[in-house]
Amino acid sequence: MTAERRTDTTDHCTAAGGDGRRYWDDAAAHFDDEPDHGLRDPRVRDAWAARLRSWLPVEPSDVLDLGCGTGSLALLAAGQGHRVTALDRSERMAERALEKLSGTGTRVLVGDAALPPVAAGAYDVVLVRHLLWALPEPESALRRWAGLLRPGGRLVLVEGRWGTTTPAGIPADTLAALAAPLGGVTRIEQLGHAEELWGRAVGDERYAAVIRPAAPRRHAEIVDVHLILRRGDEILLGRRAGTGYADGLLGVPSGHLEAGEDVRSGMIREAYEEIGVELAPGDLEAVVVMQHRAPHGESRIGWFFAADLPAGSPEPVNREPDKCAGIGWYPLDDLPHDMVAYGRAGLEAYRAGRPFVLHLHEPGDSIAHDPAGPGRMRLL
């Protein structure tokens, strides 16, 4: 049985300059001689097992050990009931890890820990020891590692700043600052005082960082409703005023949904509030659904409903004079140009009989309809 090899896409140097892979291949034969690497001393091994148990979830979880070396921590995690994938870019390290982890069900890969060749969102824990400090872009690596986590997952990093004359590594406060853009909570646990972890007294900074990134925000969009109110061959338009957005331009009666409201109920409410027209659910026909993006990037979903002015109904009235300068009837087949581009696109899709449309502005676009401007409407 051999470790699975995954193609590296970069050639980071991880120690003493030069080719990092060759360095660690050469170091593999004696790597476990360090007490905290091989964990041969039962006292050291038990100390690491206790710490690991406190950092990992109680329930069996999927753990990805990046830069696993000869697999000592992966072995402890597997022994605690976790499902472990171990990865190292050194083939000789991975071979020794494979021997050490034989019979545990652990999967051993050869690949670049900075760009792990594994699926996103597949792990509960990403475990990394003595690696982040050596990467040229540690913040990018943290971001990529966080992307490997399931919601509620955690990064467990063991790092330090070793030596006193020419120290190497990354201080705890620097790591905490690098983790800050991930949101969530970062807990630093100092380890330098714990001689049992290192097999001797140490005088430099050593610590663990348990990072629980904030849950990724789901994409959310405003939903608004638009009324194409027909009277024969004409439709009703109103001229916006006093709103701070698209004032002076024409558009159909429209508005945002309120909390808990469905699109049809919202349309019935907006029709009455804006123009005093009472519509029943059966009066409305959903004719266009549009995703729209404003020039500044905000996006929304617009539902366009068509309805005929009910027979015997009084003429619509402008019930929101603080938002609308006036209303009037306009030919559907000869629409005015001074309209909001978003609403105009919905009407053009309706005239074309196409119910689904994208209308995606680019930065710098005008929110006003421009017959000579770039076409941003895409009929689906």
Q: Which domains does the chain have, with CATH numbers?
A: 4-212 (3.40.50.150), 222-379 (3.90.79.10)
Considering the chain, what is the average pLDDT of its residues?
Answer: 91
Looking at residue 18, its pLDDT comes to 42
Nearest 5°: the CA angle 224, 230, 236 is 65
Q: Which amino acid is at 29?
A: A
In the predicted model, what is the mean pLDDT of residues 309-332? 92
- In angstroms, the CA 67 to CA 261 distance is 51
- In angstroms, the CA 294 to CA 365 distance is 8
Give helix 91-100 / helix 20-27 axis angle, nearest 10°. Answer: 40
Supply 366's token pair.
């005008």
pLDDT digits (tens, 9 = 90+) for 100-115: 999 999 999 999 999 9
Q: How many helices (H) and strands (E) does the chain have?
A: 10, 18
In the predicted model, what is the mean pLDDT of residues 176-182? 94
pLDDT digits (tens, 9 = 90+) for 63-101: 999 999 999 999 999 999 999 999 999 999 999 999 999
Q: What is the dihedral of CA 358, 363, 366, 371, to 10 degrees?
A: -50
Higher pLDDT, 217 or 117: 117
In the predicted model, what is the mean pLDDT of residues 178-183? 93
Q: Is the pLDDT of residue 3 over 70?
A: no
Residue carrying structure tokens 């290192």: 198
Q: Is the pLDDT of residue 10 over 50?
A: no
Residue carrying structure tokens 């955690």: 154
Residue 97, number of CB atoms within 10 A of its CB? 28
- In angstroms, the CA 95 to CA 2 distance is 7
Split at pLDDT 50, 70, 90, the class of 11 is very low
Split at pLDDT 50, 70, 90, the class of 4 is low
Cβ–Cβ under 8 Å, residues 323 and 241: yes
pLDDT digits (tens, 9 = 90+) for 191-209: 999 999 999 999 899 999 9
SS3 state of residue 103 = coil
Q: Is 245 exposed, middle or buried (0-12, 13-18, 19+ CB in 10 A)?
A: exposed
Comparing C-alpha atoms, which of 316, 318, 368 is closest to residue 338? 368
Comparing C-alpha atoms, which of 221, 231, 239 is closest to residue 340? 239
Split at pLDDT 50, 70, 90, the class of 24 is confident
Q: Is the pLDDT of residue 223 over 60?
A: yes
- In angstroms, the CA 91 to CA 87 distance is 10
- In angstroms, the CA 230 to CA 126 distance is 59
Comparing C-alpha atoms, which of 322, 304, 314, 299 is closest to residue 376? 299
195: left (phi over 0), alpha (psi -120 to 50) or beta: alpha
Higher pLDDT, 332 or 18: 332
DSSP state of 247: T
In the predicted model, what is the mean pLDDT of residues 11-39? 72
Comparing C-alpha atoms, which of 63, 65, 153, 157 is closest to residue 109? 65
The string of DSSP codes covering 41-70 is: SHHHHHHHHHHHHHHS-SS--EEEEET-TT
Q: Is the pLDDT of residue 316 over 80?
A: yes
In the predicted model, what is the mean pLDDT of residues 266-280? 95
Q: Is the pLDDT of residue 156 over 90?
A: yes
- In angstroms, the CA 256 to CA 276 distance is 17
Q: Is 235 exposed, middle or buried (0-12, 13-18, 19+ CB in 10 A)?
A: buried
- In angstroms, the CA 174 to CA 191 distance is 16
- Calculate what percentage of the chain has a pLDDT beyond 90: 80
Split at pLDDT 50, 70, 90, the class of 364 is confident
